[in-house]
Chains A and B, each alone.
Chain A
């Protein structure tokens, strides 16, 4: 049983998976009669070539950091929360209510309220699936999936029947007051003298997401709750021997996960759209799965993977604008990343293990 060195497992395996996913996507682009090299150039130029594009990249990445951390914290407890989409949708409702109901004098107060409200709404949407998993053994994957659909129906109802301003046909809320608009990343960087475009949606939420990633790392590896959560995720029976309450840990893990998913709304709803629309999450909840897998469930890896996916999303938009390649190429790439890192890791690991074993033998000889 030759095990991979840690660095290979952490860096090499995801990297190879990524290369394979890119290769398949390149084949697809070539198959539809386009040049993969040209496509990648447009993606790089459009997402990293200017601070305008970079701002979009960071904006998307911010969403993915939130949803990726949410998926990973549940993964650490061996729970697969695929309800990030619904939890973030409800988080949007929390943010919208916080921004619309109270006339905040300053954005910072609004942000505080919005953080609390979005996290609380997101966590609340995870509570019932969490309780059903912990107490009734209902499979969390199925219940959270069902809750995604229920969230969509609920949001549809709320927007159409309750929050839609009179006379509007759009299933969306009114615009938030300008006072609650969050500072743009460009403005913040301008203060410290770094020129950065403000004509993109990147905002202070990016910094909050980075801080949150650090906080999750501290939580998982430096607190009692994190310790209990990881122990429970590794060996449930052993955790019970140690006196870790399985019901409580399951519920805590999923509340944290749902709350972090909900936080995505401060970026997408308060920071960018300035109103709540029907599909405010736009699939970021699912991309969180890819990001968590790619980032090996570690906050640092998740930030890196989010930046990568932010690049892919912004790049994909540019593709659609600059070429006839549809932006859904990115969905394919995302699917392949999930497939190879999440479902087929052994396909990469086994040959690598064999390779390392051979190298070790050669060294010994």
Chain B
């Protein structure tokens, strides 16, 4: 980036280049990890451009480079045809780039207005800035259907409204290029649809939108063009109208997606878990789980499908003894405590429930502990790991770890290595080994293959099916429809803290499930 101009806005007069953004040969490594390798991409002005890829494909890194969060090791950035250096966020803003992060960057106890002017104030005193912002915000709100009360505190706003504040922030800074990173992950389907209408409106006004996602449905619904990333490289850019979800999926994963898992028909036995009217409130007192009833029999997998954030996490937490709940949960004929001191992970494990949590790095493992210490995590009170009434038997735990590492093909098979030193797939294998080898009556599994490489996915799926065939009950929560369709014997779809309906995986399809996940129930047989 020799003769780069820092910032400087060129979008005003007749532009030279038809492209709002061109990235040429962008590479970025974090230590040995090559997050971006020789990325080339050109985004035409006034379009919605999708960037799709699996978790860890390098999408977010690329956008962070564009927003000045990271500096690329190599490559050039062209904004409106001009080579532009973006060493920090300030430069990105000056170049007309606005970014809506997955995790919003808002000050919770500030008003909307204060959040919008932060960093873009007109002078040393706030009065004039606030007055102007109020006026501009009113105009923007009308123009783009972005209705937000400027005097509301951000902490009082819904997630969807907070996202609108982020968009307003970018527009207030006169962004011509808006990047949205996984914007729908936290939105209800209605909010997502509203967002897409807003994006369409922005495009109609000549703005350029980059939409980063791993959801094919969104790409197909709103984008003009789509670029696909896989393991740090850009594998192709196509017109959305000339491709199909299947073709995109194949590009993303790099082979024909065949998630048909070979499985025998289920042989459901006795009732293991019976849940009646389960309700969970979050810290703010908002009900996240609104009366869930379900039951699981021995030898079957009950799959819970849904968009992330519709109560699946709360369901797992309530059943796993992490969150307090109300209602009734009967396990093997015994009612479980749902609140108070007896409601904890230890009593759940004693009741025969194992739990592979959704987030292995923050819940399932202590990252600084060794592998053998992690194999005992949650089972550190188990009798076989004790030497006597006072002391633990670390040697027994280590020996058990070696055995489990061999069975589950954890690499490298070194029990004294810290959990953080293993790859994502091997970390997950440690968690799955620990929980499945307990031979529980009920296994709770959340997102078992998130951020796990393909080889490990197949292995983990086989283990889950093996446990089912051994006559155990399994509750599988996943946002990956393929995974649910492939593994589950029955599917419940969750939306907004409720169960929308039950489907037989053999007799349903992605479209039907997708509608349920969006909260739309079709009237059958009408």
Binding site for B on A (CB under 8 A): 1-2, 218, 221-224, 227-228, 230-231, 234-235, 237-238, 240-245
B380 and A238 form a contact (CB under 8 A): no
Query: Which interface residue of B30, B320, B380, B390 has the most chain A CB atoms within 10 A?
Result: B380
B497: CB under 8 A from chain A?
no
Give the residues in chain B near A240, CB-CB below 8 Å. Answer: 322, 344-345
Question: Once the chains bind, are B368 and A234 in contact (CB under 8 Å)?
Answer: yes
Give the chain B neighbours of A2 by CB distance below 8 A.
Answer: 31
- Mark contacts of B353-387 with chain A using CB atoms, 8 A cut-off: 1 yes-contact digit, 0 otherwise: 00101000011111111000100111011000010
Cβ–Cβ < 8 Å partners of A238 in chain B = 362-366, 377
**Interface set of B (CB-CB < 8 Å, partner A):** 30-31, 320-322, 341, 344-349, 355, 357, 362-369, 373, 376-378, 380-381, 386, 390-392, 394
A-B contact count (CB 8 A): 68
Is there contact, CB below 8 Å, between B364 and A1?
no
Q: Contact between A243 and B349 (Cβ–Cβ < 8 Å)?
A: yes
The 15 sampled A-B contact pairs (Cβ below 8 Å) are: A1-B30, A221-B394, A227-B376, A227-B380, A228-B380, A234-B367, A234-B369, A237-B363, A238-B366, A238-B377, A242-B345, A242-B377, A243-B347, A243-B378, A244-B346
CB distance from B144 to the nearest CB of A (A): 38
How distant is the Cα of A227 from the Cα of B345 in the complex, in angstroms? 16
Task: Say what secondary structure dominates the interface of chain A.
Answer: helix
CB of B364 within 8 A of CB of A243, answer no
The residues of B that contact A230 with a CB separation of less than 8 Å are 369
Select which of B320, B341, B348, B362 is within 8 A of A235 by beta carbon.
B362
**How would you classify the secondary structure of chain B's contact residues: helix, strand, loop or mixed?**
loop
| B412 vs chain A, min Cβ distance (A) | 16
A241 touching B369, Cβ below 8 Å: no
Among A1, A224, A245, which residue has its beta carbon within 8 angstroms of that of B392? A224
User: Which one, B347, B362, B366, B392, contacts A231 given CB within 8 A?
Assistant: B366
Which chain B residue shows the least CB distance to A246? B344
Tell me the complex Cα distance, A232–B280, Å: 24
CB of B391 within 8 A of CB of A243, answer no
| Cα–Cα distance between A243 and B354 once the two chains are bound (Å) | 12
Cβ distance B324 to chain A, nearest Cβ, rounded Å: 12
Complex interface: chain A residues within 8 A of B378 (CB): 241-243
* CB-contact partner of A223 in B322, B368, B390, under 8 A: B390
A158 to chain B, nearest CB (A): 37
Q: A240-B322, A242-B345 are in contact. List 6 more A-B contacts (CB 8 A).
A: A222-B394, A228-B380, A234-B366, A241-B345, A241-B364, A242-B346
Chain A residues within an 8 Å CB radius of B394: 221-222
Neighbouring B residues of A223 by C-beta, 8 Å: 390-392
- Docked complex Cα distance between A333 and B4 (Å): 50
Which residues of chain A have C-beta atoms less than 8 A from B390's C-beta? 223
A222, A237, A245: which contacts B391 (Cβ < 8 A)?
Answer: A222
Decide: A241 near B357, CB < 8 A? Known: A2-B31, A222-B392, A223-B391.
Answer: yes
Q: Is the CB of B363 within 8 A of A241?
A: yes
- A211 smallest CB distance to B (angstroms): 16
**Is there contact, CB below 8 Å, between B344 and A245?**
yes
Q: Which residues of A contact B373 (CB under 8 A)?
A: 227
Q: In the docked arrangement, what's the CA distance between A343 and B47, Å?
A: 50
Chain B residues with CB below 8 A from A221, complex form: 394
* CB neighbours of B321 from chain A (8 A): 243
CA distance A243 to B357 in the complex (A): 13
A243 / chain B contacts, CB cutoff of 8 Å: 321, 344-349, 378
Interface centre among A223, A240, A242 (most CB of B within 10 A): A242
Chain A residues within 8 Å of B31, by CB = 1-2
Task: Name the B residues within 8 Å of A224 (CB-CB).
Answer: 380-381, 386, 392
Given that A222-B394, A223-B390 are known contacts, is A241 also in contact with B368, CB under 8 Å in the complex? no
Cα separation A2 to B30 with both chains bound (whole Å): 11
In angstroms, how far is the closest chain A Cβ from the Cβ of B126?
31
Which residues of B are found within 8 Å of A235, using beta-carbon distances? 362, 366-367
* Minimum C-beta distance from A201 to chain B (A): 34
**A241 contacts B367, CB within 8 Å?**
no
Chain A residues with CB under 8 Å of B344's CB are 240, 243, 245
Contacts of B363 in A (CB 8 A): 237-238, 241
CA of A221 to CA of B393 in the docked complex: distance in angstroms?
10
Which residue from chain B places its CB closest to the CB of A2 in the assembled complex?
B31
Shortest C-beta distance, A249 to chain B (Å), equals 12
Q: In the bound complex, what is the Cα–Cα distance between A242 and B355 (angstroms)?
A: 9
In the complex, A1→B377 CA distance in Å?
Answer: 27
B505 to chain A, nearest CB (A): 29
Q: How far is the CB of A59 from chain B (nearest CB, A)?
A: 32
Complex formed: what's the CA distance from A230 to B370 in Å? 12
Chain B's nearest CB lies how many Å from the CB of A345? 16
The 7 closest A-B pairs by CB, nearest first: A243-B345, A243-B346, A242-B378, A1-B31, A241-B363, A243-B344, A227-B380
Q: Report how far A1 CA is from B31 CA in the complex, Å.
A: 5
Expressed in whole angstroms, the Cα–Cα distance for A221 and B367 within the complex equals 17
Contact of B355 among A1, A218, A227, A241 (CB under 8 A): A241
Write the chain B residue with the least CB distance to A228: B380
Q: Which residues of A contact B347 (CB under 8 A)?
A: 243
Q: Closest CB of chain A to B88's CB: distance in Å? A: 22
Closest chain A residue, CB of each to CB of B377: A242
